[in-house]
Amino acid sequence: MELAGLLNYAVFSITLAGIYAVTALGLNMQWGFTGMLNIGVAAFYSVGAYATAIVTGPEGAYLGGFGLPFPVGLAVAMAASGVIAFLIGLITVNLRTDYLAIASIGIAEIIRLIFTNEEWLTGGVRGIAGIPKPLGGLIPGGDQALYMILVLVLLVAVYLAFERAYNSPWGRVLRAIREDEPATEAAGKSVLRFRLQAFVIGAMAMGLAGALYAHFVSFISPEAFRPDLATFLIWVMLIAGGSGNNRGAILGAFVIWAVWSGTEFLTGFLPSGMVTQAGAFRVLLIGILLQVILIARPQGLLPERPPRSPVESRREGRRRM
């Protein structure tokens, strides 16, 4: 029994950490590769969650009851996040880093307000319950483990795609924009187009993660998301792991998820009157952890190592000759 409980907890943790890792990869595309500071991560994540809930979920006092299969839900989630990111990106993506950050809190706030207020669409504060859990009953008692494997497979797929993007000429342009925007513009690249592409693709990964989360917990509501907290955790994950490094983003997600879960045990030491405040105490600890990382190791656990450009390696080669 003890062992089974432990195993269950491990499966649960790995699934959630995997979902966070997909989100962190999306943020890495936006911030790590391209240098776009998005403080509205949770908005794109929740768009994905609601999109799949609406197309696959049961009928209720909201738009829904289409009963479409799970893969369609994931596809719709990514499309919805992508389209919204495209529309928002068109007007905000060329803003200076800090202005984009400010604009992105506005975006997140408005999307949160829409999900809270538009009951016909999202069920308002009551949220949407009974989102189907896929892969049920294939192996008796193995639903959770199967779902974990599915999340990990998708995580690896996103990782491979992003790694390829990073090393491609396309990824090189993104890094060039991050390092020196005017020079990239002068080299004849459309900064707006590349930024928009990275913003949309990053948001699609966030939408996918949100959808995976919705099917995992099968209930979503505006309160369940704590958008500021979710966004903050993803940021700490990416910075702890190493911005710009896809493996870093994944490592950071798992490490910070472990620390975040670990703080739950620490709350046992709180005075009894403060037990209800355990959540706030945990956020406080993670907030302090971020400050320590920023001061002591801002490059993260796995610092970015951009591939050398062909020109550079050719030059190296010549020198060696």
Partner 1 sequence: MEFLQLVVYGIVLGSIITLGAIGVSMIFGILRFAHFAHGDLMTLGAYFAFVCVVTFGLPMIVAFALAIVGGAAAAVLLDQTLYRRLRRSPPVILLISSFGVALILRSLVQLIWGPSTQVYESGIQMPVLVAGLRIKPDHFWIVGGALALVVGLHLFLQRTTMGKAMRAMSDNVDLARITGIDTEKVVIWTWIIAGLMAAAAGVFLAMDTRLHPTMGWRFLLSVFAAAILGGIGRPYGAIAGGMVIGISEEVSTLFLNPSYKAAVSFAILVVMLIVRPTGLFGGRS
Establish if 28 lies at the interface with partner 1 (CB under 8 A). no
Cα separation, 250 vs 19, whole angstroms: 10
Establish if 85 lies at the interface with partner 1 (CB under 8 A). no
- Tell me, residue by residue from 204 to 243, as one string, x for binding to partner 1 by CB under 8 A and - for no binding: ------------------------xx--x--xx--x----
- Tell me, residue by residue from 252 to 281, as one string, x for binding to partner 1 by CB under 8 A and - for no binding: ----------------------x-xx--xx
Nearer to partner 1, 72 or 110 (CB): 110
Number of residues written out for the chain: 321
Q: Are 249 and 27 in contact (CB under 8 A)?
A: yes
Cα separation, 311 vs 321, whole angstroms: 16
Cα separation, 76 vs 154, whole angstroms: 16
Out of 60, 283, 303, 304, which residue is the one contacting partner 1 (CB under 8 A)? Answer: 283
**191-229: buried (b, 16+ CB within 10 Å) or exposed (e) per residue?**
beebbbbbbbbbbbbbbbbbbbbbbbeeebbbeebebee
**What tokens does 180 get?**
């020196």
Distances (CA, A) of 302 to 151, 251, 273, 306: 23, 8, 40, 12
Shortest distance in whole angstroms from residue 113 CB to partner 1: 6
Q: Are 241 and 255 in contact (CB under 8 A)?
A: yes
Establish if 291 lies at the interface with partner 1 (CB under 8 A). yes
- Tell me, residue by residue from 90 to 129, as one string, x for binding to partner 1 by CB under 8 A and - for no binding: -xx--xxxxx-xxx-xxx-xx--x--xx------------
Establish if 86 lies at the interface with partner 1 (CB under 8 A). no
Out of 284, 305, 307, 309, which residue is the one contacting partner 1 (CB under 8 A)? Answer: 284
By the criterion CB under 8 A, which residues form the site for partner 1?
37, 39, 91-92, 95-99, 101-103, 105-107, 109-110, 113, 116-117, 228-229, 232, 235-236, 239, 274, 276-277, 280-281, 283-284, 286-288, 290-291, 294-295, 298
